[in-house]
Structure 1
Amino acid sequence: TPIILPTNSAGAGAKLHWHAWLPSETPRAVVLLIHGYAEHLRRYDHVAAVLNAKGLAVYALDHWGHGKSSGTPGFVPAFSAFTDGVEALLAQVKARHPGLPLILIGHSMGGLISATHLLSHQAEYAGAILSGPAIKPAEEPSRLMIFISRLLSRLLPKMGVLGLDANGVSRDPKVVSDYLADPLVYTGKISARLAKEMFEAMHRVQAEARTIRVPMLILHGAEDSLAAPEGSQYLYDHLGSPDKQIKIYPHLFHEIFNEPEREAVLADVTGWIDAHLPKAANP
């Protein structure tokens, strides 16, 4: 049954596809996995398998306009359509697994969505992990570019204004070729509206980072050309959390879960989760 966004949402009536990966035993905690721009949840099957092996249930959804969900690819009416989806997924998870600790993992734009979500829902989570979060753009836009983006967002909201280079996804050529061949991956341009909404969400997270106090692990590839590593450093420096950690991986590109070193990255993820779950949730 899809998640249907409520009437008070910017994406009202949209049907959002979601999926659960469950471990063979009773789960000790639940991970909400928030995917990035232009991709879809099934690109995280291998991540979910690693988490399942550690006794963790994993839930994810395709954002508005992504994957198998309804909406227009490359566009969003308002950034809140994304965070409304996460809130709806959270409600599903809490109903299915009452009382279990929750961990939030967000990649790229999903890291920005996750950080925005935490501004109002951090009390729900035992911890959060952000992978290559889009806290700052790869190139800071000029004031003129921001003005033009806002103007186009009003006049031509679906006009494509920004393309991304798929070669920046991973140093593994098979990952890049699979990405380009995947029919559920959107390879068109980011619309004027989505660009404006993302810039505004970035500025909000930067301005309000001090209010986020949930334990957080921030991971980023040093050679990420799609989301600035400086954004992760800025978030780490300004987080209000007394329990925070950042790791910048030398040489890695944007999708650190899809780099040749993915096993080591995922070991860092599971090790951090183990250290941040209540003792009762650890084997």
Structure 2
Amino acid sequence: MEGYLLLHGFAGSPADLQPVAQMLKQEGRLLRCPVLAGHGSGRDRMRTVSWEDWVDSAEGSLIQLKDVTPRVNVIGFSLGALIGVMLSQRQRIHRLILLSPPALPTAQELIQGATEVARGPLAIHRRMGSGASIKEYFRRLTRSPVQAIHELYQLMKAVEPVYGELDMPVLIIHGAKDELAHPRGARRVYEQIPSEEKRLVILPHSRHLILKDDEVEQVLKEVRSFLTPAPSLV
């Protein structure tokens, strides 16, 4: 038996990974979908936790799974992807799936972002499009205290050197239209990972919330395929 730890995104909840959780439950898999420290309790609680607290809370659920089975797969979305990488330093992970992982921007990307901000909200709206996913982006950002956003940035910095130490199979799935975590970052992350078995999937029509976008079925197909490798690779 294998265990599955599902980690949600920044200012999100386990609902971020609901399609994956439903698929695993239907297959009778053992899984945990914890609420990360500071989440689910409003802005005041988010102000009081650090990125280390996020990782610690996820590790608690990972240890619970390891009490049942030594083979645990971690599936993280956005912030959860970063936490999954950090957990690999503390616990042995069987397989690691990173959905929409954010990466530190390059100097050029920072300049481009600053240019968009200078042009105003209309330019950003035009670039990102419209719809439910965009409203969700801004809902999460506006309800998150500055301290929590700072902690997210600190976690992104802490994760950078860890990519080069990953030795388990890794799958990265990213939306080509992701404006919060640009796919160029996912490609850089992929190139840093030394694992013999690794795969990068760029979904041409998806944005950041890839499990709530039009290509969710493709995401589930890729996840299922990665979690059930050919016998010679197990």
Shorter-chain TM range is: 0.7 to 0.9
Any idea what SS the aligned residue of 2:89 has?
helix
In proportion to residue count, which structure has more helix?
2
By how many angstroms is 1:53 displaced? 2.4
In structure 2, the gaps of 5 or more residues are 115-123
Q: CA RMSD in A?
A: 3.3
Which of 77, 85, 103 lines up with 2:49 in the alignment?
Answer: 77
1:94-143: per-residue Cα shift (whole Å, max 9, x none)? 22x234x211000011111111222332x2x210000001123599557x
How many residues matched?
A: 221
For 2:14, the aligned partner's letter is L
1:217 is matched with: 171
TM-score, length-scaled by structure 2? 0.80
Q: In the alignment, does 2:66 pair up with 1:98? A: no
Alignment of 1:1-283 (within 5 A): 28-67=1-40, 72=44, 74-95=46-67, 97-99=68-70, 101-121=71-91, 123=92, 125-136=93-104, 140-141=109-110, 173=131, 179=136, 186=140, 188-275=142-229
By how many angstroms is 1:51 displaced? 1.5
1:247-283: per-residue Cα shift (whole Å, max 9, x none)? 1111211111111221121011011101178999xxx
Taking structure 1 as reference, are residues 232 and 279 closer, same or farther at Cα in structure 2, changes over 3 Å only? closer
The farther-off stretch of 129-138 and 211-220 is 129-138
1:10 is matched with: none
Matched-pair identity in %? 25
For 1:230, the aligned partner's letter is R
For 1:62, the aligned partner's letter is V
In the alignment, is the contact (CA less than 8 A) between 1:218 and 1:232 conserved in 2?
yes
Equivalent-residue separation in structure 2 for 1:106 and 1:141 (angstroms): 25
Equivalent-residue separation in structure 2 for 1:120 and 1:36 (angstroms): 20
In the alignment, is the contact (CA less than 8 A) between 2:47 and 2:147 conserved in 1?
yes
Structure 1 stretches (4+) deviating beyond 6 angstroms?
A: 165-171, 276-280
Taking structure 1 as reference, are residues 227 and 110 closer, same or farther at Cα in structure 2, changes over 3 Å only? same
1:65-109: per-residue Cα shift (whole Å, max 9, x none)? 212x587355353210000001111122222x234x211000011
TM-score, length-scaled by structure 1? 0.67
In the alignment, is the contact (CA less than 8 A) between 1:233 and 1:246 conserved in 2?
yes
Taking structure 1 as reference, are residues 64 and 170 closer, same or farther at Cα in structure 2, changes over 3 Å only? farther
Equivalent-residue separation in structure 2 for 1:188 and 1:271 (angstroms): 36
1:39-78: per-residue Cα shift (whole Å, max 9, x none)? 11134333211112233222111112212x5873553532
Taking structure 1 as reference, are residues 93 and 71 closer, same or farther at Cα in structure 2, changes over 3 Å only? farther
Taking structure 1 as reference, are residues 267 and 170 closer, same or farther at Cα in structure 2, changes over 3 Å only? farther
By how many angstroms is 1:233 displaced? 1.0
In the alignment, is the contact (CA less than 8 A) between 1:35 and 1:110 conserved in 2?
yes
By how many angstroms is 1:170 displaced? 9.8
Equivalent-residue separation in structure 2 for 1:51 and 1:214 (angstroms): 21
Equivalent-residue separation in structure 2 for 1:207 and 1:45 (angstroms): 30
In structure 1, the gaps of 5 or more residues are 1-27, 146-164
Taking structure 1 as reference, are residues 198 and 71 closer, same or farther at Cα in structure 2, changes over 3 Å only? same
